[in-house]
A and B are shown apart, each in its own frame.
Chain A
Amino acid sequence: MKTLIYSCQKATELVEKHKVSGLTIQERIRLNIHLSMCSQCKAYSQQSELLEQALEILISDQDDNAPPTDMKERIQKKLSELKKKDE
């Protein structure tokens, strides 16, 4: 019986595959059976969902990766210099 059931390793793979490219009907059924029996993978699946939401919040909030405010001016200055050289 146990061989019909996904391992936890496989189940975590399918949790993510489901979000990226979807599952076949068979995969979905087998995953659901696994999740209904395995509290650890069920927790993983909930944590995976929560991480998605948290990452979205984190990334929309963070300004560490914000472009420097005067970057565009610096680039345009360099472009003018290059243009002058061309003329």
Chain B
Amino acid sequence: MQQKTIDQWVNLYADELYRWAIIRVKDAHEAEDLVQDTFLAAYQAIDQFKAESHPKTWLIGILKLKVMDYYRRSGSAHRPRPLDNDQDWEAAFFDQKGDWQKTQSNALPWHSAPHLLDDSEFLSTLKNCLEHLPSRLSGALSAKYLLGLAAKETCQELGVTPSNYWQLIRRGKLSLKKCLEKNWFHQTQRRP
């Protein structure tokens, strides 16, 4: 009986749990192991499952602990850090008065290039940029777009306040913008 329930849950929720895990650990094998461990732990702890809670919420809760364990095991390399209030980060984009740095060629009107969203080269550059973001920033962007989570849910999941959250989104976008300007816009400019 218990295994039947868990088997059903595997069918219903394993894919979603996997997507949740892969954006956090960025390794397919590790993500699958974490999902598997989650179901094994769920099977053993099924008595603690309360019928009024949603199975997916309960499973995600277990998976979250597994991911934390993984961060602990693998050292600090993958662990999202709290948002630094770092002047250094901002200084790459803004001067002390809060004006755009001259080195940021913000007048670049790449956003008005025609049919940008149909341009596979643009999208693949963006994808590459996204992969190179620090995990904290890509995590915030992924939680929003990949999992379609509402802001409140995303904040809970990432353990940040709403103001930290839009800061993360902002920094993620600023980094993507910089990366696109360097790797896409300049490359596609026709040079004399």
Contacts and interface: CB of A to CB of B under 8 A. Distances in A.
A82 interface: yes
A79 B146 contact: no
A81 to B, nearest CB: 10
A80 B39 CA distance: 12
A16 B177 contact: no
Contact of A54 (B43, B107, B126): B126
Contacts of B116: 50, 54
A57 B123 CA distance: 8
Nearest to A43: B106
Chain B residues touching A, range: 35 or more
B40 A48 contact: no
A14 to B, nearest CB: 9
Chain B interface SS verdict (over half) = helix
Interface string A6-38: 011110110111011100000000000000000
A67 B19 contact: yes
Contacts of B15: 67, 71-72
Interface of A: 7-10, 12-13, 15-17, 19-21, 39-41, 43-44, 46-48, 50-59, 61-62, 65, 67-68, 71-72, 74-76, 78-80, 82-83
17 contacts: A7-B97, A8-B100, A9-B98, A13-B170, A19-B169, A20-B169, A43-B107, A43-B111, A51-B126, A53-B117, A54-B117, A58-B123, A67-B15, A68-B18, A68-B28, A72-B14, A83-B3
